[in-house]
Amino acid sequence: MKIAYVSTYLPQQCGIATYTDYVIRAIQKVSPLVDIKVVAEKGALPFKQDKFEVVPCWDRNENYVDPIISNVKDVDIVHIQHEYGIYKFDDRLPTLLKRLKTERKRTIVTIHCITPFQFANGEVLMMAENCVKKIAALADEVIVHLESQKAILERLGIHSEKIHIIPHGTEVSNEAKKKSRLLLNLPEEGKIMTVFGFINPFKDLDVSLEVLKEVKEEVEDLYLFIAGGLPPGASKKAKDYVEKLRKRIKELDLTDNVIFPNKFIPNEEIPNIFGASDVVLFPHYHEDRSVSGSLHLAIGAKKPVIAYRMPKFEEVKNISDELLVLPGNASGIAKTAIRIFTDKEFEQYVLERTDQYRRATSWPVTVRKHLRLYLGVD
């Protein structure tokens, strides 16, 4: 069996590229006889070895249909990793899927994000529903990560038997706290609450500062680690937001308690970022139906997470619904963090549930579900 993944790929700084890499590495461990080809967007690094190759050959800003078709002729299954920003809203991807049918290739599409019409901003995004409807209808099988995503596709008329819910995989890590803090030059003692990822206004980092202010009144020697920097090509709005945060840190007299290097975190440091943390906050405001890869990294490190009660974080209820807090409720997040820090019985409950969920969604478990689908036994 030979599978082609049509996707962005490393070293591109893209969540889909990282996701695809996790899938491939897990499949190589679980089923090393599978032949894998990444038909990647230009920007990926070309690579070739026995049963694995990366062929960068297409560009999202050009007509990518022919380059992809010419590079999947030797495969049995074409698995497309879909995200709006990569494939846009035009007819190229539907045309590709139609061409793949004439080539008699079995097609699977993982739809990572669905934006409901009522939450679409701008004329282009208003096409988001129709876009995923068309793509899902043309694919032989569709993978989504959430029940809410499946429900939307069913509403759009996609037959439920072709929609497969496979959770986002979890990379299990167990980096020691003391060692991680030394490596990252973080305080060796005290509690660290972490927010992780690119800096964007929708991530409500200013709310995290309010949380720190309140928790600090109950928990001594406390820090907020803003682990991340501006994304490539950051907008003026995002740059202004960084300055707003720095100003707010001073206003709240939190300069000694906030660690904010404002820099990109390389992949090799990520396990230590979470290893160094005591609690990880996700006050991100999203109405998209999608899953947070960063959330799974925190869970994989067996760290308590506190998140907004939003579709993006609906999985957290599988650990504890009490870890979900209404958007903007800084005091609610603070009280939940205080309980984790001060109530050992509650903390142990959260840690045990987190461990159970990270094992249930670990990449080996997740890719076995992919493999069953590839083999037609799902």
Closest CA to 343 of 256, 237, 218: 218
Q: Containing domain of residue 59, as a range?
A: 2-169+362-374
| Predicted confidence pLDDT, tens digits, the chain (378 residues) | 999 999 999 999 888 999 999 999 999 999 999 999 999 999 999 999 999 999 999 999 999 999 999 999 999 999 999 999 999 999 999 999 999 999 999 999 999 999 888 776 765 566 888 899 999 999 999 999 999 999 999 999 999 999 999 999 999 999 999 999 999 999 999 999 999 988 888 888 999 999 999 999 999 999 999 999 887 778 888 899 999 999 999 999 999 999 999 888 888 899 999 999 999 999 988 788 899 999 999 999 999 999 999 999 999 999 999 999 999 999 999 999 999 999 999 999 999 999 999 999 999 999 999 999 999 875
Closest CA to 239 of 290, 194, 199: 199
Give the Cα separation of 251 and 44 in Å (integer). 43
Give the Cα separation of 134 and 82 in Å (integer). 13
Assess whether 19 and 158 both reside in one domain: yes
Peptide bond into 11 cis (omega under 30): yes
Closest CA to 295 of 278, 277, 313, 319: 313
Assess whether 189 and 331 both reside in one domain: yes
Q: Where are the beta strands (DSSP E) in 14-122?
A: 35-41, 47-49, 52-58, 77-82, 106-111, 113-114
Assess whether 7 and 35 both reside in one domain: yes
Assess whether 224 and 136 both reside in one domain: no
| Number of domains the chain contains | 2
Give the Cα separation of 17 and 25 in Å (integer). 12
Assess whether 355 and 366 both reside in one domain: no
Q: What is the CATH number of the domain that holds 276?
A: 3.40.50.2000
Assess whether 298 and 324 both reside in one domain: yes
Half-sphere exposure for 370 (CA within 13 Å, toward CB): 34
Give the Cα separation of 267 and 294 in Å (integer). 12
Assess whether 223 and 102 both reside in one domain: no
Assess whether 183 and 212 both reside in one domain: yes
pLDDT of residue 201: 83
Give the Cα separation of 39 and 58 in Å (integer). 8
Closest CA to 246 of 233, 230, 238, 258: 258
- Facing residues of 225 across strands? 194, 259
Assess whether 123 and 49 both reside in one domain: yes
Closest CA to 305 of 287, 285, 279: 279
Assess whether 233 and 295 both reside in one domain: yes
Name the 3-class secondary structure at 313. Answer: helix
Assess whether 165 and 181 both reside in one domain: no
Give the Cα separation of 4 and 21 in Å (integer). 13
Assess whether 236 and 136 both reside in one domain: no
pLDDT of residue 189: 95
